[in-house]
């Protein structure tokens, strides 16, 4: 089963990360479209830029780690 999961993500952490971001983005959009006040107790709007910055750093680290495999 683990081999099928890895094959689904093409053995790439970056592809896994991007698909996870899409899933979380869709879930967040659905929650906010139903009731915007549902998410504010969990996410402080002041922290959103920090979350985006951390996400960018993690994505870049994963991309560079994968790029070494491709050399």
- 53 lies in some domain: yes
**Residue 71: what pLDDT?**
53
Number of domains in the chain: 1
Domain that holds residue 58: 42-71
User: Rounded to whole angstroms, what are the CA distances from 28 to 11, 15, 64?
Assistant: 27, 20, 28
- 18 lies in some domain: no
- 48 lies in some domain: yes
DSSP H stretches of helix in the chain = 2-8, 13-34, 48-70
- 47 lies in some domain: yes
**Residue 69: what pLDDT?**
61
**Residue 59: what pLDDT?**
85
Segment 10-67, tens digit of pLDDT = 777 788 888 888 888 888 788 878 887 777 777 777 887 888 888 888 888 888 877 6
């Amino acid at each position: 089963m683990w081999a099928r999961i890895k094959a689904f993500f093409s053995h790439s952490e970056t592809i896994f990360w991007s698909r996870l971001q899409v899933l979380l983005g869709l879930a967040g959009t659905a929650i906010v479209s139903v009731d915007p006040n549902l998410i504010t107790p969990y996410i402080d709007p002041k922290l959103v830029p920090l979350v985006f910055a951390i996400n960018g750093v993690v994505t870049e680290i994963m991309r560079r780690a994968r790029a070494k495999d491709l050399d």
